[in-house]
Structure 1
Amino acid sequence: MTEASPIAPPLGATLDTPAGDRRPLAGIVLFAALIVIAGAVLAPIAATALNGFKALGDLQTHPFNLPQSWIWANYWDILASVRYWQVLGNSLLIALLTVALTLALSSMAAFAFAHLKFFGDRFLLSYLQLGLLFPLATAILPLFITVRDLGLLDSYLGVVLPQVAFSLAMGVLLLRNAFRQLPAELLDAAMMDGCGYFRYFFFITLPLSGPILSTVAVISFVASWNGYLLPLVVFNSESRYPWTLGLMAYQGQYSTSWQLVLAFITLTILPAILMFLVAQRYIVAGLTAGAVKG
């Protein structure tokens, strides 16, 4: 009788250390790394919010401690001011218009690239995706000239339309790949039942693409909400300032009251954080659906 050959240990394991003993250690290291990364991201936000409750002297002497006395008036005075709600409303209007136009245009273009074959479709798709290579700052001068020639200076559309143009590349890339992953049998069955492309797009494709549409919406909203350079170039009237420019004006007025500036920052970034928290369950699923090369 021949002796049974010993079972080879798994890859990466030694005879002294079983593979199963390494998995808890790897999990602990990964968890610790995630805690460190989360702390590095959340610490500035928490410090900004807490310092907004301090008096100026407390902020200058103990910038990293909890407030010695919680001054809620720093926040209540901003919430009661007209300027805060004005800049918040301007940012919300610009962001919502940008999201609506980005979703409408990118979804229709992505559907055409995903299901229709026409001359030059690959060239047009590649040309459109070149927009991912160029940041907004590189095109700010020609954008200003174009917006000025169109008579859109100091108007909301002068900011919304360029933001939509720069959001289309990412939107089309994600949506096209997600649309191509829908079962082809759905399109075949719809065509056999007399359903055209328009009805298939509105009644089948869009309802089944909620996660990826939410992902594109969140990305466009946050990018628009945090926009600074384009509104700075386009807007002349302070009544049209979004929160980024409103913060600049507010800081100029209260340059010696940093606790009020920090409270203003906290209140203005709060809507973007809340929207991200509400839509975060869709983001991972949406990016996964649109990340596979079609």
Structure 2
Amino acid sequence: MITRTSRYVILAMFLVLFLLPFVWIWSSALKSNSEINADPFGLPTSPQWGNLADAWTTGRFGKYLGNTVLYCAFVVPGVTVLSCLAGYALGTRRLPGERFLLGLFLLGIMIPFQSIMVPQYYLVRDLDLLGSYWGVIVPNIALGLAFGTFLMRSFFRELPEEIGNAARLDGAGEWRVFSRIMLPLARPGLITMVVLQFMFTWNMFLIPLLYGQDENLRPVSTGIMFFIGEYSVDRSMIAAGVTLASVPIIIVYLVLQRHFIQGMTSGALK
């Protein structure tokens, strides 16, 4: 039998392993390049707080941060709304061609983006979206729908059918059953999808480079490229840029962690 003390020791070990990459990158953000080269894994002897300000200005993080917030403001709600509607229909209704539709969504999860980025590029070009914000937003929504639909379908399928049937007997329409009854019950899955999609959108890299084609349209994740030259790499600035880019994700996770963990473990606790 594993004692309570042993459990806490094991959890503490995993906590240390989890925090080590963060401590390493954050400490590197406060060191000079010479100090990093001399002792890559050591703590900074004299913290260089100016690295964060330099990374913000040199890497144009102010402009890129605004672009990233704009992308998240469109992509996350777009994926959430469409995934909830599709997941509800596939999870609670018996639709003609349901297996075929599920197979298409499954392909969207299985096929990597690198395999479809060339034909998708031509599709975005034919829609005259290249070099615009919509050229980044629309493909991101399309790529996020497969995972979001499968996630929400699994949550809607776990809800008792009797709840929706009782509301229909009382005269509630299908939209009212979905929006007022079933969707609030699937709140853990909804928040889980929002957090994951926010992380995917915040960290996107290839899609803005391929379809944005304008430096003014790039997100915050591309700002790190300014510190990588042809013959040199500014490691302290890269670490500072990664630190700036990771702060919003950490804040969102800390705020929604209880609901996120509940959504991720609900299937195991059922």
Task: Tell me the TM-score normalized by structure 2.
Answer: 0.90
How many aligned residue pairs are there? Answer: 270
Alignment partner, residue 285 of structure 1: 262
Residues 217-248 of structure 1: per-residue CA shift (max 9 Å, x gap): 11111111111122111122111111222211
**What is the RMSD computed on CA atoms of the aligned residues?**
2.5
Assess, with a 3 A threshold, how the Cα gap between structure 1 residues 256 and 289 changes in structure 2: closer, same or farther. Answer: closer
Residues 87-112 of structure 1: per-residue CA shift (max 9 Å, x gap): 11111221231111111101001111
Alignment partner, residue 269 of structure 1: 246
Which runs of no fewer than 5 residues in structure 1 stay unpaired?
1-21
> How many Å separate the matches in 2 of 1:287 and 1:67?
37
% identical equivalent positions: 35
Alignment partner, residue 17 of structure 2: 40
Equivalent of residue 96 in structure 1, options 73, 98, 105: 73
Equivalent of residue 108 in structure 1, options 77, 80, 85: 85
Offset, 1:147: 0.7
> How many Å separate the matches in 2 of 1:272 and 1:203?
30
Task: Tell me the TM-score normalized by structure 1.
Answer: 0.83
Contact 1:175/1:290 (8 A) holds in 2: no
Contact 2:58/2:226 (8 A) holds in 1: no
Offset, 1:115: 2.3
Alignment partner, residue 64 of structure 1: 41
Contact 1:254/1:260 (8 A) holds in 2: no
Offset, 1:262: 1.3
| Residue correspondence of structure 1 range 100-139 to structure 2 within 5 A | 100-139=77-116
Contact 1:110/1:172 (8 A) holds in 2: yes
What letter matches 1:50 in structure 2?
S
Assess, with a 3 A threshold, how the Cα gap between structure 1 residues 283 and 151 changes in structure 2: closer, same or farther. Answer: same
Alignment partner, residue 3 of structure 2: 24
Which runs of no fewer than 5 residues in structure 2 stay unpaired?
none
Alignment partner, residue 141 of structure 1: 118
Contact 2:205/2:221 (8 A) holds in 1: yes
Offset, 1:58: 1.9
Report SS of the residue matched to 1:23.
coil
Confirm or deny that 1:251 pairs with 2:228.
yes
Assess, with a 3 A threshold, how the Cα gap between structure 1 residues 269 and 146 changes in structure 2: closer, same or farther. Answer: same
Higher share in helix = 2
> How many Å separate the matches in 2 of 1:290 and 1:154?
42
Report SS of the residue matched to 2:60.
helix
Displaced runs of 4+ in structure 1, greater than 6 A? Answer: none
Whose Rg is larger? 1
Contact 1:174/1:291 (8 A) holds in 2: no
Residues 145-167 of structure 1: per-residue CA shift (max 9 Å, x gap): 11111111112222222222222
Alignment partner, residue 181 of structure 1: 158
Confirm or deny that 1:227 pairs with 2:208.
no
